[in-house]
Amino acid sequence: MFDFQDLFQWDRFITPTIIKTFYWLVIGVIVLFGISGILSALSAMAISPFVGFILLLASIASVIVGIVFSRIVAEFILIVFRINEHLGAIRDQGGTR
């Protein structure tokens, strides 16, 4: 975890510690939009069953794609910070010439 003082010092990054929180917030937003899409699709089924069914499938697919894409983005951010840490460790060991 990080201290409040870490916000004012640039020795340590806070993004790797809070990225999981942002990931779960994004998942919550995706699920809420998915529920909204599903409810819209169900109400569209009353007018046109075929169009409503297509909207239902598109809503479910977009939730799945959104969750996978948000996980990929979160992992990419963590990988960038991990690369930075490893390069700093190599530099501290005197591995550069």
Amino acid at 29: V
The structure's pTM equals 0.76
pLDDT of residue 57: 97
Cα separation, 84 vs 78, in Å, equals 10
**Burial zone of 59 (CB within 10 Å; 0-12 exposed, 13-18 middle, 19+ buried):** buried
Amino acid at 28: G
Phi and psi at 27, nearest 5°, equal: -60, -40
pLDDT of residue 89: 84
pLDDT one digit per residue (tens) for the chain, 97 residues = 556 666 676 667 777 778 989 999 999 999 999 999 999 999 999 999 999 999 999 999 999 999 999 999 999 999 998 898 888 888 888 855 5
pLDDT of residue 2: 57
**Burial zone of 45 (CB within 10 Å; 0-12 exposed, 13-18 middle, 19+ buried):** middle
Residue 69's nearest CA partner among 33, 35, 23 is: 23
